[in-house]
Amino acid sequence: MRGVFIVAKVAISRASYSFDALYSYSVPEELAQKVKSGVRVLVPFGRGNRKAVGFVARTYTEAEYNDKLKPVISVVDGESLVTEEMMRIIMWLKENTFCTYYDAYKSVVPTGFSYTFSQHYSLVNTYIDEDTLNEDEKNVVDFLRCAKSQREIDSFLDVHNDARKKKTVDSLVDKGYVEISDALKRKVGDENVSMVRLSDEYVSGEIQTTLTPKQTLVVKLLEEGGCASVKEVCYMTNCTSSILKRLADKKVIVQYKYEVMRDAIGELGERQDPDDIILNDEQSAAYEGIMRLIKAEKPAGALLYGVTGSGKTSVFIKLIKSVMDMGKTAVMLVPEISLTPQMLGKFKSLFGDKIAVMHSSLSLGQRTDEFKRVMRGEARIVIGTRSAIFAPVTNVGIIIMDEEGEPSYKSDSTPRYHARDVAIQRCGYNNCVLLMASATPSLESFYYAQKGRYHLFELKNRYSKSPLPAVEIVDMQEEAAEGNDSLLSRVMCDKLTEVLAKKEQAILLLNRRGYTTYITCMDCRQPVACPNCNIPLTYHKKNDRYMCHYCGYTMDNIERCPQCGSQRLKSSGVGTQRVEDELERLFPQARLLRMDADTTSSRYSYEENFKAFEKGEYDIMLGTQMIAKGLNFPNVTMVGVISLDKALFTGDFRSYERTFSLLTQVAGRSGRGDKPGVAYIQTFVPDHYVLNLAAEQNYDEFYKEEIALRKSLTYPPFCDICVIGFSAPLESKVIGASRWVTQLIKEYISQHRVNFPLRALGPAPCTFEMINNRYRYRLILKTRNTADFREMIKHVLGEFYKNKDYQTVRIYADINGDIGL
């Protein structure tokens, strides 16, 4: 026996929250050099020792061998995919988002690297003494002899839920008649190209052989080029692969695989020099101030608060260039995939192939290859959406969050993290700067900047000195009273006519897709609703179907009410498809581009459509919020907001903030070139202070109003909010579970010396009480996100999963997430 034994602490991939832990395994001597922190291993787990994949969190040595520990079976990864920093992030996610270790691991490592584990059964090619078999064993052996495929065998011998069959198979294995082999398959393999080169033996003259004319051409080509792909050799010498095979048999050439990266960036185009960008006085002051923070090499947070069109992106570019000159790396986050193409195009021209891009519209293979490029140090700048915060860059100099107040930076599925919180952790590890930027920062960030927790830098003027667009609020009640039943006001129609005549462009915003959003029966007063969610269905004219935007349910167009059979169905509510029809009727000569989830489903649709609009191939772009922020089209001189009234009253305490931000940002798309811009906001509540402040683009006054309201009602940043959500197929179960958890929290508070403030709201139904045939309740806790509070939530979740009465109930805890739905 060895004098020192290695023990690995392993997180299991199949573990649920109730038994999620780091389990100890002994490391066999032959695996000692391979088992390291971050690598995945195959281990026996549970009473039945079923094989499972897990990742090694850490290893340590013991002086004495512990024979009670199960051994690691094998190592899955050749090298760890998790850096030391990312291992810390995994532990932080586990602690702060109430997820399992492996859920955290899957956030850090792309899905393409995941493995599926399976077991294959086969009959050992040996004599079988059937007198030693019972009836069940004979049946299994007979089946194995007659089976037509391995899949048929594996399906028949799946023993996971059949104790009798498991006993039979285990007996046959013990007797040596059946063999079990393990199979691990990666979800996405590496992209390889078949290559050829001259062998060392041929080059050195050890091999002398007669070559045919075709073979001689191949050898000459390889002598000149050194190596080439099989396709290139066949094309350039007009030979076939069989000729290459014969050369390989003669040991004249060597065939091998060469890994190539699946392109996620596209053509680089004409290169530009970042040094050619000239900053104005405001930009230079912000750049120099942020650079002082970077050079201090201490963790710091900074907020770049600048009006739309003030040139924040130019500051980003200068900062990233300086960081790279210091030998460091940079991460830049954007909130929407729609912003990635324009941003990426600009950065590609400036930094070339030093960029990696990470977002969900890439294929699994592309995401996997971009991850590998970053790990190898081939890419030093990462641009992407929320998940790009986990990019395995090292020696980070700056992390930039553009439009930092956007809700898309918060994950609404496990693990429920906010990219800003992860960025703060990374800045602490790398001693670097987190730069948050927006014309409409989140109230929390602006509050912390005012209090000195973040450094505040301001850009008060547009870069081109062009004025902000004039914004006009249009009262749609007056329009209706004066006989205008169109979706567009008269002033907006007049301005569109003018814009089209001048060969300029316009952007129109309506944050609802579909044609009509509500169909009601005039007799029974019931809406045509989704049977899974009890939410009104949206009619989509393009495919003549009703659709649920929450669970995906669809149904054919109907002429009668499903409830009472009446033919008196009334449509109401407006979606982008209906506005598109209205625009085609009013402006038949205009070239329209509709941008919503229905028209941007393909991987490259954002980039292709935005490029076409920028080139002037369309006159009007109509879309949802994906067109509202971060885009720069110099020929756009008019922006129109069809309606955003519903967004003001969603039931979320952030509804005013989000509506103000969306209005301000979309108005800022107008007049960004050398032509003045204008924006119109159509509304039925023209006196609402949020709309009027957005029209004035007066964020400072809006902040004063909203922060006072937050303070009086005790909402963030004056507290943290934890939502405990419940869902189940039966309403009685979800009600019972929510009340049981509430009582459990009361008992915990009385039994422990709780020293954190806590105010509970509920439990009560969610705004949408049922989605996808599951009833939904929630308990809202106003508190401070402390270690003691998180310990209470972990205790509550652990106890809940042990309660067999609520096995059909799903539960989650989300800190500072969305409470509006």
Q: Please indicate if the annotation marks 548 as binding a ligand.
A: yes
Sheet containing strand 433-438, edge to edge, reads: 355-358, 381-384, 329-333, 396-402, 433-438, 300-306, 455-459
- DSSP, residue by residue, 296-321: HTS-EEEEEEE-TTS-HHHHHHHHHH
Taking the mean position of all CA atoms in its chain, how far away is CA 551?
Answer: 19
Residue 629: name the closest of 672, 592, 597 by CA.
672
Residue 373 is given by DSSP the state H
Cβ neighbours, 10 Å, residue 66:
10
Beta bridge partners of residue 51, listed in sequence order: 44
* Residue 645 · residue 683 · CB < 8 Å: yes
| H/E stretch holding 730 | none
Question: Of all helices (H) and strands (E), which one includes residue 510?
Answer: strand 505-510
Tokens, residue 335: 């909130």
| Residues near 535 by beta carbon (within 8 Å), at least 6 away in sequence | 529, 548, 550, 768, 771
530 is in an annotated binding site: yes
**Burial classification of residue 202, based on how many CB atoms lie within 10 Å of its CB (0-12 exposed, 13-18 middle, 19 or more buried):** buried
* Cα dist from 5 to 44, 69, 78, 798, whole Å: 19, 11, 22, 33
The single-letter DSSP state of residue 430 is H
CA angle 363, 367, 368 (to 5 degrees): 115
Calpha distance 720→759 (Å, rounded): 11
Q: Are 32 and 116 in contact (CB under 8 A)?
A: no
Q: Is 722 annotated as a binding residue?
A: no
Q: How far is it, in rounded angstroms, from Cα 451 to Cα 449?
A: 5
Q: What's the CA gap between 195 and 216, in Å, rounded?
A: 18
Cα dihedral: 195, 201, 205, 207 (round 10): -100
Residue 698, classified by CB atoms within 10 Å of its CB into exposed (0-12), middle (13-18) or buried (19+), is: middle
Give CA–CA dist 665/540, Å, rounded.
28
DSSP bridge partners of 445: none
Confirm or deny that 561 is annotated as ligand binding: yes
Please answer whether residues 294 and 435 qualify as being in contact, where contact means their C-beta atoms are separated by less than 8 angstroms. Answer: no
Structure tokens at 302: 């900074």
Q: Is 524 annotated as a binding residue?
A: yes
The two tokens of residue 709 are 């309201």
Alpha helices in 392-466 (DSSP H): 419-430, 443-451
533 is in an annotated binding site: yes
Is 239 within any annotated ligand binding site?
A: no
> Nearest Cα to 159, choosing from 168, 151, 150?
168
Taking each helix axis as running N to C, give the angle between helix 689-696 and helix 699-713, from 0 to 180 degrees, rounded to the nearest 10. 150
Distance of CA 7 to the CA centre of its chain: 35
CB atoms within 10 A of CB 288: 12
CA 599 vs. chain centroid, Å, equals 20
Q: Which helix (H) or strand (E) holds 713?
A: helix 699-713
> Strand 678-683 and strand 636-643: pairing?
parallel
CA–CA separation, 45 vs 72, rounded Å? 10
Instruction: Check if the beta carbon of residue 369 is closer than 8 Å to that of residue 442.
Output: no
Yes or no: say if 226 and 181 are a contact pair by the CB < 8 Å rule: no
- Whole-number Cα distances in Å, 553 to 64, 538, 546, 548, 549: 60, 11, 8, 5, 8
Place of tokens 């048929």: 152
Residue 719 assigned ligand-binding role: no
The C-alpha atoms of residue 566 and residue 568 are separated, in whole angstroms, by 5
Annotated binding-site members for Zn(2+): 521, 524, 530, 533, 548, 551, 561, 564
Annotated binding-site members: 521, 524, 530, 533, 548, 551, 561, 564
